[in-house]
Amino acid sequence: MLVLTRKLGEEIVIGEEIRVIVVEIKRGAVKLGIAAPPHTSIHRQEVFSKIQDENKKAGVLPENIREILKNAKPESFKMNRKSPLTNNELS
């Protein structure tokens, strides 16, 4: 881990596209400004952890998925919708 000391108004540059600026220092807290391209995700650690947890939950299949698929009937996977146009309407 790189540890740097910066004063109010000073910057840290990451790569060619990201700048971290010390905007305010008071009562033991440092306020940082981050300038980065729109495609770069920037989150506080607690928000990032929550996003990761939610993504993990979304990717979990039910424990009984094998049983559900084994008992599923092939016709239940077919689309049973009729076309809005009949052959007569196409002529």
25 lies in some domain? yes
- Is 84 within a domain? no
- Does some domain include residue 27? yes
pLDDT by residue for the chain (91 residues), tens only, comes to 999 999 999 999 999 999 999 999 999 999 999 999 999 999 999 999 999 999 988 888 777 877 887 787 776 666 656 656 655 555 5
Domain that includes residue 25, residue range:
11-76
48 within some domain:
yes
Q: Which of 5, 12, 15, 7 is nearest to 34 (CA)?
A: 12
Assessment of whether the complete model's pTM goes beyond 0.85: no
Q: Are 27 and 41 in contact (CB under 8 A)?
A: no
CA–CA separation, 6 vs 14, rounded Å? 14
Q: Report the number of distinct structural domains present in the chain.
A: 1
Given the DSSP bridges, would you call strands 11-14 and 18-26 parallel, antiparallel or unpaired?
A: antiparallel
Question: Does residue 82 lie in a domain region?
Answer: no
Give domain status of residue 90, yes or no.
no
